[in-house]
Amino acid sequence: MNHLLNSMTPASLGYASLMFVSFMAAMFLGTIFLPGKVYASCLQPNNTRKSYKLNGLLLFMITTFSVVAFTLLFHFSLASLSNYFWSLFIVANLFAFTLTGILYVKRRGIKGGDIQQQSLVKIFSDLWFGVELNPTWLGVNLKMFAYQPSLIGLGLLNASFAYVQYEKYSEITLQMWMFQVFWWLYLATHYYYEEFMLSTWDIIAEKFGFMLVWGDLVLVPFFYSIIGWYLVDAIAPMSVSSVVAISLLYLVGLTIFRDANAQKHRFKKNPKVTIWGQPAQALEGKLLISGWWGVGRKLNYSGEICVYLALALTTGFDSIIPYLLPLWLCVLLPHRAWRDEQRCQAKYGNLWDAYCAKVRFRMLPFMY
């Protein structure tokens, strides 16, 4: 990566700015004009429901087929995304800081508040956590929209490593193909089940401040693509047993992750839903104890960690750096699980204690 750091110039930053702004504009316009089904969210903290037009799957598929078509017909290459990686990283950070500032000033202006009278601690807290739950521009909910440039941008960055490898070695290795297929399936299933995002804590209760803005536009695309760097030069053959084992780990993890979230979402929409062939069971009709939620309280997080571990394993064991991503999630997700359970304890009280007694394990059955 050192040569990429050395290649940063005013010209490269200008070109990266053009790429970034054009991409953001394309995502935003696609969100506005592409058709999509309208869904109602879960109850918001003020006991209201918002409506969301969801067209992420169509936007993702159009992006995918456009890249494939331009590559086959016009020899289009995504390698420039890798070449301008650090310039794009700087531009994305500047955009995140600017957007956070605009959201803060706009909301404070609406409230008529005097920013100068706010304490520094209050200003920092409002900038970090946000001051508005659902900021909307031109009819687009910005918090939900941020997932489009975040995840589709991540997909494009990941795909760029395959282009770099092919241009460098005139081949795409099996492990690189695994990396590409794994990520495409992850993103495709996310958008296929995009409605499930409406029942997540981020959408229901988190305000849209720097924490979410930076996480979506910088952390996810630029950190979650770290594994790709180590696959470009990983051209040694991978054994069949390794391919099978890694693929099984990935498929098991993805199945648990998506299916657990699907069960929870379906139950929230209809408590009489069928799960694993049986009517859903819940404590007092509130806390689901069927399916994965009867095995562990946060198995969806366990499945997600398995997915990212499988992605890292495609690089082999020559460097610890690709494993920073699953290691990061091994810290982030247990902490998030703990925070979720603190909120559930405060909300449900003794009923939550009964649920924990019924479903003893959090993320690892018989262990944790």
DSSP state string for 80-118: HHHHTHHHHHHHHHHHHHHHHHHHHHHHHHHHT--GGGS
Classify the C-alpha dihedral 168-172-176-180 as positive or negative.
Answer: positive
361 burial (CB, 10 Å; 0-12 / 13-18 / 19+) is middle
22 burial (CB, 10 Å; 0-12 / 13-18 / 19+) is exposed
> Which of the two residues, 349 and 363, has the higher pLDDT score?
349
Residue-level pLDDT at 308: 97
- Among the residue ranges 1-5, 46-50, 166-170, the one predicted with the least confidence is 1-5
pLDDT above 90 covers what percent of the chain?
61
Residue 266 has pLDDT above 90, yes or no: no
Q: At 209, is the pLDDT very low, low, confident or very high (cuts 50, 70, 90)?
A: very high
Q: What is the mean pLDDT of the chain?
A: 90
Residue 107 has pLDDT above 90, yes or no: no
What would the mean pLDDT of 68-80 be, rounded to a whole number? 94
Residue-level pLDDT at 43: 64
User: What residue has token string 């404070």?
Assistant: 108
- For the segment 274-296, what is each residue's pLDDT rounded down to a tens digit? 999 889 888 888 888 889 998 99
Alpha-carbon distance of 276 to 291, in angstroms, equals: 6
- For the segment 228-239, what is each residue's pLDDT rounded down to a tens digit? 999 999 889 999
Residue 145 has pLDDT above 90, yes or no: yes
C-alpha to C-alpha distances, 11 to 14, 88, 93, 95, 217, nearest whole angstrom: 5, 12, 18, 18, 22
Residue 167 has pLDDT above 80, yes or no: yes
What would the mean pLDDT of 203-223 be, rounded to a whole number? 93
Residue 35 has pLDDT above 60, yes or no: yes
Residue 148 has pLDDT above 90, yes or no: yes
